[in-house]
Amino acid sequence: MKKPIIEIYALLVCFITVACASIWLAIGFYAVIGAAKPDITISGWAYQMHQSNQQFQKSLLGEPIFLGPPSAIEVKKPEPVKHLSDEEIAEKRLASYQIELQSEVRKNQQSLIKSLIAVFICLPLFFVHWRFVKPK
């Protein structure tokens, strides 16, 4: 009943490919949801920033933006903005939100492509190695 080393190797490869394919399928499913409804998968900060003129204006008027790792923080202060009317702020906020949504759709489309590539790599690996462990 001792299994040959090649069969153990093949079973191990099959197990790993099934695990990887499962993870990549879940990531791909999330990406499909994000591409269809980007307002669901958008980051919490970006979503909150675009919900009201006051929140959007805070990001425009001087909250510092931190760039880089904490050990080498570079603070970039936004340019001072002249006072805008509520209509102008709302227009800028909505335009910014549309750009944010387009960016989220693109990011999710890229993630979906990566997921499909990974799954299509896992499938042949699984089937090639499964031939060695199929009951005869």
**What's the pLDDT tens digit per position in 94-107?**
998 999 999 999 99
Q: Report which secondary-structure segment, H or E, holds 76.
A: strand 74-76
Residue-level pLDDT at 53: 84
CA distance linking residue 45 with residue 60, whole number of Å:
14
Q: Alpha-carbon Rg of the chain, whole angstroms?
A: 24
**What's the pLDDT tens digit per position in 5-57?**
889 999 999 999 999 999 999 999 999 999 999 999 998 888 888 888 888 87
- Confidence check: pLDDT of 133 > 90: no
Six-digit token string for 49: 């920033």
Query: Does residue 79 sit within a domain?
Result: yes
Residue-level pLDDT at 77: 56
Runs of H (alpha helix) within 51-85: 53-60
Our count of domains for the chain comes to 1
For residues 99 and 78, the model is more confident at 99
DSSP 77-108: PPPP-----HHHHHHHHHHHHHHHHHHHHHHH
Query: Does residue 135 sit within a domain?
Result: no
Q: How far is CA 61 from each of CA 47, 49, 77, 129, rounded to the nearest angstrom?
A: 18, 13, 9, 59
How many Cβ atoms from other residues are within 10 Å of residue 111's Cβ? 19
Torsion of CA 9, 11, 17, 20, to 10 degrees: -100
Work out the mean pLDDT of the chain and round it to a whole number.
Answer: 85
Give the single-character DSSP code of 70.
G
Residue-level pLDDT at 111: 97
| pTM for the full predicted model | 0.74
Query: Does residue 136 sit within a domain?
Result: no
Domain of 11 in residue numbering reads as: 5-130
